């Protein structure tokens, strides 16, 4: 159960990071509210997962999922340029996260 919650918390990290960028310094209400809710839930999930999983592994998986999804979303929406090298590097992050799960 901790791994599932950790993965969902990583997804929420991508949500809050994207919302933070769209909030324009917390001057836009909806992205600011999405940020506040998703960052709270993301941190709570991370904290819950850390009750059973090692801190280093939990944090690396949480950040890896969030970073990979955030940049993937930005590339899909055209906010960031896409390239083969970026896709391969994101794949490396995903493979590393999967490796941490397999080693646990």
Measured N-to-C along each axis, helices 2-22 and 29-49 cross at an angle, to the nearest 10 degrees, of 160
58-102 tens-digit pLDDT: 999 999 999 999 999 999 999 999 999 999 999 999 999 999 888
- How many structural domains comprise the chain? 1
pTM of the model: 0.91
Q: Structural domain of residue 16, as residue ranges? A: 2-103
34-58 tens-digit pLDDT: 999 999 999 999 999 999 999 999 9
pLDDT of residue 103: 85
- As a whole number of angstroms, the distance between CA 20 and CA 67 comes to 14
Which pair of structure tokens corresponds to residue 4? 């599932």
């Amino acid at each position: 159960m901790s791994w599932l919650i950790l993965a969902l918390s990583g997804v929420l990290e991508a949500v809050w990071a994207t919302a933070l960028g769209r909030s324009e310094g917390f001057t836009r209400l909806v992205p600011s509210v999405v940020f506040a809710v998703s960052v709270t839930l993301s941190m709570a999930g991370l904290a819950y997962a850390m009750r059973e999983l090692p801190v280093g592994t939990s944090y690396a998986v949480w950040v890896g999922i969030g970073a990979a999804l955030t940049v993937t979303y930005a590339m899909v929406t055209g906010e960031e340029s896409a390239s083969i090298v970026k896709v391969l590097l994101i794949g490396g992050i995903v493979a590393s996260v999967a490796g941490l799960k397999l080693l646990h």
